[in-house]
Amino acid sequence: MFTVKNGPFTETAADAVLVGLFDKPLKFEGVLEPLDQAFSGNLTELVKNGDVSAKKGEAAIVPTLGYLQAKRLVFAGLGKDKETDFHVIHEAVTKAAKLAEKSGLESIAVILDSFVTENVTAVEAAEAVFEAWFLAQFHYTGYRTPGNEPEKLLTSVLVFTESDPAEVKAACKVGQTMAMGTNTARRLTATPSNMMTASDLADHAQELAGRYKFEIEVLEREDMEKIGMGAFLAVAQGSVAPPKMITLKYKPHEDWENVLTFVGKGITFDTGGYSIKSKEGIVGMKTDMGGAAAVLGAMEIIGELQPDQPVMAVIAATDNVISANAFKPDDVITSLSGKTIEIKNTDAEGRLVLADAVTYAKQQRAGKIIDVATLTGGVIIALGKDKTGAITNNEPFFEQVLEASRESGEMIWQLPLTEHDKKRIRSSDVADLNNSPGRDGHAIMGGGFIGEFAEDTPWVHLDIAGSAEMSPGVMTRTLAILALSEVESE
């Protein structure tokens, strides 16, 4: 798809040419001087008239009117060059791509050096441009009857730069891959629950395993019964759909110790069980497998980019429904770890399936664990929808996760887990743990419950209940970036 050239961009016949503009004040000079010359200075007039702006986040599309072989120019405003970074480029290109989408582009050319500053290299700019562009192109059309208009897809990308073509092309692929893995997570999350069951998630994992040579294991109900996965099975026991505990292993070499592990909550629909949700709250619960989707999206990126460190994914997939067989408040269940749990709230089911998933991951030699889950409404009350809540038992590991989130632009915010909180989680008269010890500090209670099963293994909990609603596919890129970096052992 990508062709990188060191040559004159004015001769391309692409459907559109993407240009980054800095506000300094805006002049078509340097790399963009040939563009203005081709237009006999008329681009400068467009700027003076306000038709084109270099202000941060502004975008414009103009026809070339025969001045160039390309049909259109798409401008992305970047603001002051000294203030421009990866995220500024990302935001600007997202806006520009959304605007250009209406034109049904099949080919684009990018003047990459128009995005380069003292702070941003051509390689960084390439990754930002194409991650943003392909993220912006995602649409979930679902099951609508298709119209008569043929869908136009982007099939050709020309990149013009004075930098090393091989390095730039590799960066273009990284940006596209990050976007496509995130878009996979978005698609999985958006699919209706009757078409995205635990079996469907297992099928998707199987397809990834075949494509990227991952090792895969899918535990069935009878397998879980044999090993005593009682917390997960309690949630699953009300459903006629078979539960699946899915494990993917990426092994770039023989060493399989201290493995970086992603654990995803895969509740394909959550009624709340006997602690049933309201009629308003139950709508949209097909997205309660957003954590599993993020993990699968990250594994797709890992399969494409082949990092050097081993990575494992563990996904607990089932639905949480009401039936004569469903678990009930006041039940006591025994988890895979042997710890017993008093059920106070059947709508606090995510922490139960993750408890057994974390324990199972440790049995499979997980050395560092990140669980990702649409876990609590409480995290939205505490942090809003633009931030992912985090809890950890290991500050150095958390700092590595935090750095990956800064690179991805997916904001996380650490919540405290105190000894007082732990006492509340253990406040049961009949069992070791209480799955719902009250509404106050609810996000901390949910995450801290999972921490009881992580124990001393370095662990970070990411509650995406709000951030996944605002940005479906959230944490996919953060997980992938962490896997692509060298995670240090503690």
What's the confidence (pLDDT) of residue 150? 62
What's the confidence (pLDDT) of residue 47? 82
What residues does 215 pair with on adjacent strands?
249
State the average pLDDT over residues 336-356: 98
8 A C-beta contact, residue 224 and residue 232: yes
**Residue listed under structure tokens 């990426």:** 250
What's the confidence (pLDDT) of residue 452? 98
What's the confidence (pLDDT) of residue 42? 83
- The proportion of the chain whose per-residue pLDDT surpasses 70, expressed as a percent, equals 97
Torsion angle, alpha carbons of 25, 29, 34, 39, to 10: 30
Q: Where in the chain is the domain with CATH 3.40.220.10?
A: 2-182
- Domain spanning 191-484: CATH 3.40.630.30: no
CATH, domain range 2-182 = 3.40.220.10
8 A C-beta contact, residue 434 and residue 329: no
Record the tokens describing residue 35, joined without a space: 């563009």
pLDDT confidence band for 375 (50 / 70 / 90): very high
Residue 25: is its pLDDT beyond 80?
no
pLDDT confidence band for 422 (50 / 70 / 90): very high
What's the confidence (pLDDT) of residue 487? 67
Tell if the pTM clears 0.85, that is, is over it. yes
Record the tokens describing residue 392, joined without a space: 């950890």
What's the confidence (pLDDT) of residue 149? 66
What's the confidence (pLDDT) of residue 151? 67
State the average pLDDT over residues 375-381: 97
Mean pLDDT (the chain, rounded): 94
Nearest to 171 by CA among 179, 30, 309, 114: 179
Q: What share of the chain is helix, strand, coil (3-state, %, to 5)?
A: 40, 20, 40
- Could you read off the pLDDT of 81-139 as tens digits, one per residue? 999 999 999 999 999 999 998 888 999 999 999 999 999 999 999 999 999 999 999 98
What's the confidence (pLDDT) of residue 437? 96
- Catalytic sites, residue numbers: 277, 351
Nearest to 299 by CA among 315, 313, 319, 285: 313
56-65, 325-334, 365-374: range with lowest mean pLDDT: 56-65
CB contact set of 101 (below 8 Å; sequence gap of 6+): 136, 137
Phi, then psi, of 411 in degrees rounded to 5: -70, 130
Q: Where in the chain is the domain with CATH 3.40.630.10?
A: 191-484
What's the confidence (pLDDT) of residue 395? 98
Distance CA(132)–CA(304), nearest Å, equals: 18
What's the confidence (pLDDT) of residue 488? 60
Residue 145: is its pLDDT beyond 90?
no
What's the confidence (pLDDT) of residue 420? 97
pLDDT confidence band for 148 (50 / 70 / 90): low
What's the confidence (pLDDT) of residue 27? 63
Q: What is the 3-state secondary structure (H, E, C) of 75-135?
A: EEECCCHHHCCHHHHHHHHHHHHHHHHCCCCCEEEEEHHHHCCCCCCHHHHHHHHHHHHHH
- Could you read off the pLDDT of 292-329 as tens digits, one per residue? 999 999 999 999 999 999 999 999 999 999 999 999 99
Count of CB atoms situated within 10 Å of the CB of 77: 23
State the average pLDDT over residues 388-407: 98
Nearest to 67 by CA among 114, 35, 111: 35
Residue 367: is its pLDDT beyond 90?
yes
Distance CA(182)–CA(295), nearest Å, equals: 10
Whole-angstrom CA distances from 192 to 197, 270, 287 are 9, 12, 9
What's the confidence (pLDDT) of residue 94? 97
pLDDT greater at residue 413 or residue 49: 413
